[in-house]
């Protein structure tokens, strides 16, 4: 009768793999990788590679779990263990003759050989799938995506701050110029309303002469203010002002507003690009974190399979019994089924 042995590593525990975390990490990476990173195209290219590698890893895990589970299930469905147990019981019986026992021993050796072949094929399949998983995880891990991003992010955030300040300054400048221009426009409206254009063609009166006009006090004050504004805009402080000077001052203020507005549009465009860049860099940083989660879960699964490969390496031979052989197989089968169930529940 073959020696009865107890499998030495059956008490080993496989690490818990969080399939939901792995799957969600892959989804998050795929989504984040679609964000455009204008200005740092190399990050965009790396982000897309991380997305590709993470999806490939996810597919490998799904397919490997399925094929390994089927292979294990087929082995456990065989009658190896019950038949071996029956033979071992018969070999110690006094009711069976020596010739029959000799035939049983041959049958037992054939069963052990067949079972050994199945175990060898199973181990080979686990090695193939584990190597594939390790390569997928290594490809993903080796994409260094955030190197130097901290400096780029810091510089761009400072640029954002400066652009925001510059935009604020330009907006205030436009508001101040618009206030001046609006006063001149209101003054011109008053002049036209009171038919004073011809009277102001050669010279607009000031001081008491202006006060003698048949105008309300607010209207007089508005004209005085517009004249002061016009002097500053045109740089005419000594000579008197004409009606046309008010219109020229208005045009000049309009031009100033147009010039600042053009610059403001440029600044807003730069800020928009900067915002997209910062958003893209932050997305890359998030991708790196998600990548770490995915790789960590893949490494747990790889560790579990490496443990099992080492376990079944000791199962090849004749020192086998039902408990010693079937326990790690059933344990791994249950482990695979629990992982597949996690995928189904996603």
Torsion of CA 194, 195, 197, 198, to 10 degrees: -140
CA 148 to chain centre: 17
Q: What is the pLDDT of residue 7?
A: 36
Look at residue 6 and tell me if it is in a domain: no
pLDDT (average), residues 150-176 = 96
Look at residue 268 and tell me if it is in a domain: yes
Q: Look up residue 56 and give its two tokens.
A: 């490939």
CA 209 to chain centre: 73
23 and 140 assigned to the same domain? yes
Q: What is the pLDDT of residue 307?
A: 94
The rounded distance, in Å, linking the Cα atoms of 48 and 41 is: 11
Q: Which residues contact 306 (CB under 8 A, 6 or more apart)?
A: 130
Final residue before a domain boundary, out of 224, 240, 273: 273
259 and 174 assigned to the same domain? yes
Look at residue 76 and tell me if it is in a domain: yes
Q: What is the pLDDT of residue 62?
A: 97
Query: Residue 232's domain spans which residues?
Result: 157-273
Tens of pLDDT, residue by residue over 215-250, are 888 998 899 999 999 999 999 876 788 889 999 999
224 and 165 assigned to the same domain? yes
Strands (E), the chain: none
Q: What is the pLDDT of residue 115?
A: 84
The rounded distance, in Å, linking the Cα atoms of 265 and 171 is: 11
How many Cα atoms are found within 13 Å in the side-chain-facing hemisphere of 72? 24
258 and 313 assigned to the same domain? no
pLDDT (average), residues 325-331 = 86
Tens of pLDDT, residue by residue over 42-63, are 888 999 999 999 999 999 999 9
Give the total number of structural domains in the chain. 2
185 and 235 assigned to the same domain? yes
Q: Look up residue 314 and give its two tokens.
A: 């000791």
Whether 5 has a pLDDT exceeding 80, the answer reads no
Look at residue 8 and tell me if it is in a domain: no
85 and 44 assigned to the same domain? yes
Q: Which residues contact 237 (CB under 8 A, 6 or more apart)?
A: 231
Three-state DSSP at 205 gives: coil
Q: CA torsion sign, 231 to 234 to 238 to 239? A: negative
Look at residue 163 and tell me if it is in a domain: yes
Judged on CB neighbours under 10 Å (0-12, 13-18, 19+), 294 is: buried
Look at residue 285 and tell me if it is in a domain: no
Whether 76 has a pLDDT exceeding 90, the answer reads no
Q: What is the pLDDT of residue 12?
A: 67
Look at residue 280 and tell me if it is in a domain: no
Are the C-beta atoms of 174 and 264 separated by less than 8 Å?
yes
CA 31 to chain centre: 6
Final residue before a domain boundary, out of 223, 243, 273: 273
Q: Please state at what angle helix 19-32 crosses helix 322-344, rounded to 10 degrees.
A: 40
Q: What is the pLDDT of residue 287?
A: 95
Q: What is the pLDDT of residue 47?
A: 92
Are the C-beta atoms of 145 and 43 separated by less than 8 Å?
yes
Q: Supply the mean pLDDT for the chain.
A: 88
Look at residue 191 and tell me if it is in a domain: yes
Rg (CA), the chain: 43
């Amino acid at each position: 009768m073959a020696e009865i042995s107890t499998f030495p590593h059956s008490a080993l525990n496989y690490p818990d793999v969080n399939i939901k975390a792995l799957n969600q990490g892959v989804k998050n990476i795929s989504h984040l990788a679609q964000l455009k990173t204008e200005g740092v195209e190399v990050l965009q290219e790396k982000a897309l590679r991380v997305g590709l590698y993470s999806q490939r890893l996810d597919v490998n895990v799904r397919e490997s779990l399925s094929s390994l589970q089927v292979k294990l299930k087929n082995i456990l469905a065989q009658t190896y263990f019950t038949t071996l147990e029956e033979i071992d019981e018969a070999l110690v019986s006094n009711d069976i003759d020596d010739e029959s026992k000799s035939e049983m021993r041959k049958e037992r050796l054939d069963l052990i050989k067949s079972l050994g072949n199945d175990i060898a094929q199973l181990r080979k399949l686990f090695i193939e799938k584990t190597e594939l998983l390790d390569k997928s995880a290594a490809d993903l891990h080796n994409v260094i995506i955030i190197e130097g991003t901290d400096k780029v992010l810091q510089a761009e955030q400072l640029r954002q701050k400066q652009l925001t300040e510059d935009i604020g300054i330009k907006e205030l400048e436009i508001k101040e110029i618009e206030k001046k221009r609006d006063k001149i426009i209101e003054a011109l409206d008053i002049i036209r309303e009171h038919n004073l254009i011809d009277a102001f063609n050669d010279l607009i009166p000031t001081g008491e002469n202006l006060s003698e006009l048949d105008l309300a006090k607010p209207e007089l004050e508005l004209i005085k203010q517009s004249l002061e504004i016009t002097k500053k805009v045109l740089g005419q402080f000594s000579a008197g002002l004409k009606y046309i000077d008010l219109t020229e001052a208005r045009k000049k203020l309009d031009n100033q507003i147009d010039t600042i507005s053009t610059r403001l549009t440029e600044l807003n465009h730069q800020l928009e690009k900067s915002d997209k860049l910062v958003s893209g860099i932050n997305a890359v940083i998030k991708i790196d974190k998600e990548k770490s989660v995915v790789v960590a879960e893949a490494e747990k699964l790889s560790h579990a399979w490496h443990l099992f490969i080492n376990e079944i390496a000791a199962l090849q031979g004749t020192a086998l019994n039902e408990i010693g052989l079937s326990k790690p197989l059933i344990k791994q089968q249950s482990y695979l089924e629990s992982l597949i169930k996690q995928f189904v529940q996603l």
